[in-house]
Structure 1
Amino acid sequence: MAETYNPRRTAVLLVDPYNDFISEGGKAWPRLEPVAKEVGLLDNLRSVVTSARQGGVRVMFVPHRRWEPGDYETWAYPNPTQQSIRTRHSFARGTWGGEFHPDFQPQAEDIVIHEHWAQSGFTNTDLDLQLKQHGISHVVAVGVLANTCVESTSRIAMELGYHVTLVRDATAAYLPEMMHAAHELNGPTFAHSIVTTAEVVAAFEEARSGAA
């Protein structure tokens, strides 16, 4: 792997690690489960996040808006995902489904970004501000969904001048075709690097050894 990551200049963007998405019993888990289990999503997320924290790489949680009564009811143009959330009450605030998976709880040095309403973690949030204030130049995107929030957040990161890495097996989508589109068709048009969990963990460990 050719990419190197300065821990002080790198952040892992952990997108939407909600129980409703990635926990047994979550509203969206039955749709996500086949792909998530095929790629080893949860174990790979654990590996990336643990390696990042051990190596001094900043972890930033990039969460979707938690549904509240009245959300989208008066909107002129709610998108299909928002219409689904309005019906299913995904990630409802104050519920188990709207909490982060127990293995992905913010730690003292982590940053929880303001919730995004649609698919980009940058739009109407403080993500760009937090990245700039912490001197971040490289972002490593993981989480869900590969072809929606992860992709949209990563695209805007590129547009804003950040170096973008996608970790193909530390994200998941509802269908294999969506994963293919995210990593084989769309990702190569904007991401600077598309890697596996093993590769990015090795790069973090190498960076940590070099800084020691």
Structure 2
Amino acid sequence: MTETAYPRGTTALLCIDPYNDFLAEGGKMWPALSEVATSVGLHANLAQIRATARDVGMPIFILPHHRHHATDFEGWAHLTPSQAAAHEYQLFAGGSWGGAFYEGFGPDHGDIIVKEHWGASSFANTDLDVQLRQRGITHVIFVGLIANTCIETSARVAAELGYHVTLVRDATAAMSAEAMHAAHEINGPTYAQAILTTAEVLNHLAKKQDT
């Protein structure tokens, strides 16, 4: 991979699905994610990247998954397996604690909240692309959950749309070490311009990069 630079004013942090159901003890998906999340220091790394982004004036976009309701998908002909499972468990149920943003990782003043995505892509049927382009964003750094589903799908689309894409190895998690390996060692190099650790991202952001 070539040397990565993150121009001030045209780089954004994209945080996918920072919900209690993913990140909090007691969340519906936390038992499946906890081993990998703990091993990479997910919470501390997310907090560091978000804080540094704010310090350098980088815009933060929150990319939330659709919050489920009992009548969702009625009449749908082609649910994906993930959609069917999420609906069965009412993941991120509307109005529930699990569907609330994890404390400290949800939107803060000035953050841009993108329309909720129904599947794995944060671009499909949302306003993400226009929100990025209207703000002159060319470089996107993806963090959040899950590495091999919503992160990977959204980041692949970003690359196809012409954005410079960065994945952060330890600011995400998956339900197995194998899934993390696939996301970053097998699939990621086919589309992402940079695959970095949190420490590497923070080092880049600390540099003065006006262009």
Measured after TM superposition, the shift of residue 105 of structure 1 is: 2.4
CA offsets per residue over residues 15-43 of structure 1, 9 Å max, x none? Answer: 00100001110000000000000000110
Answer whether contact 2:62 2:106 (CA < 8 A) is retained: no
SS of the residue 1:96 aligns to: coil
SS of the residue 1:129 aligns to: helix
- In the superposition, the TM-score normalised over structure 2's length comes to 0.97
Q: Which runs of 5+ in 1 are unaligned?
A: none
The answer for the alignment partner of 2:66 in structure 1 is 65
SS of the residue 1:7 aligns to: coil
The answer for the alignment partner of 1:137 in structure 2 is 138
1:1-212 pair list within 5 angstroms: 2-207=3-208
Return the alpha-carbon distance in structure 2 between the equivalents of residues 39 and 86 of structure 1. Answer: 29
SS of the residue 1:169 aligns to: strand
Return the alpha-carbon distance in structure 2 between the equivalents of residues 105 and 149 of structure 1. Answer: 17
CA RMSD, 1 decimal: 1.1
Return the alpha-carbon distance in structure 1 between the equivalents of residues 106 and 40 of structure 2. Answer: 22
Answer whether contact 1:137 1:163 (CA < 8 A) is retained: yes
Return the alpha-carbon distance in structure 1 between the equivalents of residues 21 and 75 of structure 2. Answer: 25
Return the alpha-carbon distance in structure 2 between the equivalents of residues 125 and 54 of structure 1. Answer: 28
Return the alpha-carbon distance in structure 1 between the equivalents of residues 52 and 135 of structure 2. Answer: 19
SS of the residue 1:90 aligns to: coil
Return the alpha-carbon distance in structure 1 between the equivalents of residues 116 and 9 of structure 2. Answer: 24
Q: Read off the aligned partner of 1:109 and give its amino acid letter.
A: G
Measured after TM superposition, the shift of residue 73 of structure 1 is: 2.9
Return the alpha-carbon distance in structure 2 between the equivalents of residues 113 and 204 of structure 1. Answer: 24
Q: Kindly report structure 1 stretches of 4+ aligned residues shifted beyond 4 Å.
A: none
Answer whether contact 1:7 1:58 (CA < 8 A) is retained: no
Report the identity percentage: 51
Return the alpha-carbon distance in structure 2 between the equivalents of residues 137 and 9 of structure 1. Answer: 5
Measured after TM superposition, the shift of residue 145 of structure 1 is: 0.3
Measured after TM superposition, the shift of residue 7 of structure 1 is: 2.3
CA offsets per residue over residues 187-206 of structure 1, 9 Å max, x none? Answer: 00000000000010111111
Q: Read off the aligned partner of 1:62 and give its amino acid letter.
A: L
Measured after TM superposition, the shift of residue 135 of structure 1 is: 0.4
Q: Which runs of 5+ in 2 are unaligned?
A: none
Q: Read off the aligned partner of 2:5 and give its amino acid letter.
A: T
SS of the residue 2:98 aligns to: helix
